[in-house]
Amino acid sequence: MGDEARPGRSRLEVTLDLVTDLSSWVWLALIAVIVVAVVLRFVFSLGRIELEELQWHLYAVGFLMGIVACTGFDRHVRVDVFRERMSARLRDWIDFYGILLLQLPFLALVLWSALPFVVDSFVAGERSASAGGLPFRWILKSMLPISFVLLALATLSRLVRVGRRLFGDGDPGGGR
């Protein structure tokens, strides 16, 4: 996303950038699937349930990976009405404790819950309940723990950057 030349970026940050950049192509695939589904339905009067399901699967993957990208680039939603009036140091302390006390425990809880969810789906050979729907539902469900592991890595990277600003070692840039 254009930050490759910025000094001081860790290998983890560069890798996360690459993964999220590559995952952004999911949106182009989603548009293509939607166009094909619309043309088939309205031009040829053919409805394909697998295309409808594939749209939702691609949207889910794009959304989950978008969360990783937003966290990695520190572009997630905040209540800026309060935040803009705070000093940079206070914002860093709020980020630091928010990550430690809220975000990391939440990520651990989701991962703890998601892994059995995927394993059960794989063991059961879960597929779509719709006739003609997509098989291998576990592939889609596996994106939940995969994206949350990436989100945890992005969060830990953010925690290190904030920690460096609070406890020394610089990073005056405020993030990526």
Question: What is the structure's pLDDT at 70?
Answer: 85
Residue 113, token pair as written in the block: 């819950």
- DSSP state letters, 151-170: HHHHHHHHHHHHHHHHHSS-
**pLDDT grade, residue 170 (50/70/90)?**
low
Q: Classify residue 109 as exposed, middle or buried by CB count within 10 Å of its CB (0-12, 13-18, 19+).
A: exposed
Question: What is the structure's pLDDT at 2?
Answer: 43
Q: How many CA atoms lie within 13 A of 101 on its CB side?
A: 6
Smallest CA-to-CA distance from 10 within 133, 168, 167, 159 is with 159
Identity of residue 41: R
Question: What is the structure's pLDDT at 173?
Answer: 52
Give the C-alpha separation, 160 to 125, whole Å: 40
Give the C-alpha separation, 168 to 165, whole Å: 6
Give the C-alpha separation, 128 to 117, whole Å: 15
pLDDT digit string, tens, across residues 78-101:
767 777 888 989 999 999 999 999
